[in-house]
A and B are shown apart, each in its own frame.
Chain A
Amino acid sequence: MIDRTFDTAHPEPVTVPGPQGDSPGHGETTEPVLTLKGAQQIFRTPRGDVPAVAGVDLEVRAGQVLCLVGESGCGKTTTARMAAALADPTAGSVLFRGKDVASMDRKERAAFRRSVQYIHQDPYASLNPVRTVYSTVSAGLRRHGMVKNHAEARRVTAELLERVDLTPAEDHLDKYPHQMSGGQRQRVAVARALAMNPEVIIADESTSMLDVSIRVSLLNTLGRLRDELGVGFLFITHDLAVAKYFAWRGEIAVMYLGKVVEQGTTPRVVNDPRHPYTEALVSAVSEPDPDLAHRKDRIRLREADIPDLTDLPPGCDFHPRCPLYAEGDCDSVRPPLVRSHDRLLACHVVTRG
């Protein structure tokens, strides 16, 4: 379990929502829609236990974006699956509007399923190839009895397609996935999620497979859902440029080996990263500008390879690679995620200084 002790020595205004029950003075106006409390997922394997997610506290609010970034294997997708109740946490809980998802009855669970929708990474795999767009998008509407008859289902589906910029909708209703481009397919996946009037959309690398040119327009479409319909997003990406653009007014949580190591408002985390891992990530980005690319300070890690989850180093997970590694606590005590200035940080060296 993560031990959160909050450093009260810094009186700066706090923009990061803490875990439940933390300091009532912080004026978050909206209640979180989706809350992960110490959510943990340990996979038992013959090689030993794999702590894919080792206790995370996250909150998603209506109309806000919480972006999870990190390398593959750091637990982003497992976190998303727990948030969508596709996997039960081995410890900790997932709360929807304050109610534990695990203790929901049938009816509540159905409402939860409608309200939290998932968009997968690969639009080539996530759409059923033998179903038309109409059939895919309206499946949920029909299943949940949200439309009365065929005519209404088609009308509502057409409206949804317009919303995700598949216009004119009539042209797309009866297409099969193979007749569409990757970007269009991903829009169908978004329309399908939107059909349920969700309060939260969990988007797992939803733009990674798309060409750069299409990526931006899909992000803009998602941004409109966020701003106009007040949909909250748990947005997962490994691309910092995408994270920065989509979550500019939201928050970023950086994950490393199953734990959040830094969390704060996007402009602060991206432009002034404090955790050495975040710093390394930001410095590793190849900028689309040759002058900037050559000018940029690159952080050298002490080791290039990521440790095995079944054989984690003692102390801080990042210490074997960390450029700030110092004698003392780094290799013996696991740093807790504590508030430091304007964000949450898990690093002995940075929080001390």
Chain B
Amino acid sequence: MNDLPTDPGTDDGALLSVRGVDVGYRTGRRTHVTAVHDVSFDLHPGQSMALVGESGCGKTTLGLGLLRLLPRTGVIPSGEILFRRKDGTRVDVRTLQKENLRRFRWSEAAMVFQGAMNAFNPVLRIEDHFVDTFRAHENGRRRPRREILEQSAELLEMVRLDPARVLNAFPHELSGGMRQRSLIALALALRPQLLILDEPTTALDLLTQRSIVERLAELREQLRFSMVFITHDLGLAAELADRVGTMYAGRLIETGTTRDIFHRSRHPYTSALIDSVPPVAGDLHVPESLPGGPPSLHALPPGCSFAPRCAHALTDCDLTRPTLDVLVPRGEGLSHAAACLRSTDAEIHAEGVPR
């Protein structure tokens, strides 16, 4: 169950230790579907981890599960989500009770949702979102509105927005990029240690994406928070992440540093994903297509879930489910691990083949 390199217990330096987490959804009275299977990883302070994979691979479910923000039908039947709070104490997010959970969210770990369009309440001004957030998390003493607004203005300036224009605006009066930046400023309001971003730049224009990516990189330098971001844009992962986790059919099937994943990937699914996005620079690179789609979560193949689409599958792949085995051990959760029976097979991983 514990596939991770570091000692099987908790990793003391880690900000977030996810251990054998399953996330499922109830689909009927007695039926349910498991959308995330047995995921384990350690995230150390200051790290930025990208979760990549096709739609329906469990990325968002995992991200929501980490903060217990799942819809009502969502359940986390097993596993531990250990989080080291600012005061040094360690809590299991999975067992946090109501009030503690409410306090935990935003001040310890905050979420930036997909589609900045829908994340704001359309009938509230941006300033009201800030005021509500600060008020909901103050301890006893009621802060004057003016003080809160001053602090909100600072936050907006941090993401290069003009507070005079933005604070007083309704969400629909802002462009998509401005809304997304406001949302990031809002998420950072209580100085969380961890930011979870779900598709932070999807649906934004190229130049707007660029400004968000650069802001995020600068803010991370400045405020030293950790990030888990969910994306299907591999370019974004290559740029913004220190490490990448590939998900397929609800499982983490490869994890490693960004270089491991992009230059020395040991899982055919990761390689296929990377090969399907051509770089813009340089001559024409003919991308490889990866036919088919992820299997239905109701009917997962008995062996490796990727075997039916895999160009390198052997008969054994249909029978044995590979575990996430460490290939290159490193500290701080940066080991390169892959869940593939042929991860060390020299035949398909010819050394030194550059893309």
Residues of A within 8 A of B (CB): 71-72, 181-183, 211-217, 220, 238, 240-241, 244-245, 248, 267, 270-271, 280-282, 284-294, 296, 298, 301, 304-306
Q: Which of B208, B276, B286 contacts A215, CB < 8 Å?
A: B276
A216-B290, A244-B278, A296-B281 in contact; A289/B213 too (CB < 8 A)? no
Residue of B nearest to A73 (CB): B205
Chain B residues with Cβ under 8 A from A183's Cβ? 293
In contact, A286 and B238 (Cβ under 8 angstroms): yes
Q: Can you report 25 A-B residue pairs in the complex whose CB atoms are below 8 A from each other?
A: A71-B207, A72-B205, A211-B55, A212-B273, A212-B277, A216-B276, A238-B205, A241-B279, A248-B284, A267-B283, A270-B280, A282-B280, A285-B206, A285-B235, A286-B238, A287-B235, A287-B279, A287-B281, A288-B238, A289-B262, A290-B258, A293-B238, A294-B239, A304-B177, A306-B207
Q: Known: A240-B206, A286-B213. Is A305-B276 also a contact (CB below 8 A)?
A: no
Min CB distance B130 to A, Å, is 21
Residues of A close to B208: CB separation below 8 A: 71, 304
* Cα distance, A317 to B262, chains bound together (Å): 39
A245 touches B284 (CB 8 A): yes
CB of B238 within 8 A of CB of A287, answer: yes
**Majority SS at the chain A contact face:** helix
> Is B160 close to A, CB under 8 A?
yes
A280 to B283, CA, bound (A): 19
On B, residues with C-beta under 8 Å from A are 54-55, 160, 175, 177-178, 205-211, 213-214, 232-239, 258-259, 262-263, 272-274, 276-284, 286-291, 293, 355
* B279 touching A289, Cβ below 8 Å: yes
Give the complex CA separation of A296 and B235 in angstroms.
Answer: 12
A284 touches B206 (CB 8 A): yes
A295 to chain B: closest residue by CB: B281
In the complex, are the beta carbons of B273 and A285 less than 8 A apart?
no
Cα separation A214 to B262 with both chains bound (whole Å)? 20
Residue of B nearest to A270 (CB): B280
Contact B239 A241 (CB under 8 A): no
A226 CB, nearest partner CB in chain B, Å: 15
Neighbouring B residues of A285 by C-beta, 8 Å: 206, 235, 280-281
B residues within 8 A CB of A291? 259, 263
Chain A residues with Cβ under 8 A from B54's Cβ?
211-213
The residue in chain A whose Cβ has the minimal distance to the Cβ of B288 is: A216
| Bound-complex Cα distance A291 to B208 (A) | 22
Q: Is the CB of B289 within 8 A of A216?
A: yes
B206 touches A213 (CB 8 A): no
| A211-B232 contact in complex given A183-B293, A245-B278, C-beta closer than 8 Å | yes
CB distance from A198 to the nearest CB of B (A): 24
Contact of B206 among A244, A267, A281, A294 (CB under 8 A): A281
Distance in angstroms between the alpha carbons of A257 and B283 in the assembled complex: 29
**Do the beta carbons of B287 and A286 come within 8 Å of each other?**
no
**Which 4 residue pairs spanning A and B have beta carbons closest together?**
A286-B235, A217-B289, A213-B290, A284-B210
- Within 8 Å CB of B238, what residues of A? 286-290, 292-293
Question: A146 CB to closest chain B CB, in angstroms?
Answer: 31
Nearest CB of chain B from residue A175's CB, rounded to whole Å: 15
Q: A185 CA to B21 CA in the complex, in Å? A: 34
Residue ID in chain B nearest A245 by CB atoms: B278
What distance in Å separates the Cβ of B215 from its nearest Cβ neighbour in chain A? Answer: 10
Give bound CA distance, A256 to B345, whole Å.
50
Q: Are A286 and B209 in contact (CB under 8 A)?
A: yes
**Cβ B207 vs Cβ A301 within 8 A:** yes
Give bound CA distance, A267 to B282, whole Å: 9
How far is A245 from B284 in the complex, measured between Cα atoms in Å? Answer: 7
What CA separation (Å) do A241 and B233 show in the bound complex? 12
CB neighbours of B175 from chain A (8 A)? 305-306
Contacts of A181 in B (CB 8 A): 293
- On whether the beta carbons of B177 and A286 are closer than 8 Å, the reply is no
- Asked whether A288 lies within 8 Å of B289 as measured between CB atoms, the reply is no
Complex Cα distance, B208 from A281, in Å, reads: 10
Contact B278 A284 (CB under 8 A): no
Bound-complex Cα distance A241 to B284 (A) = 10
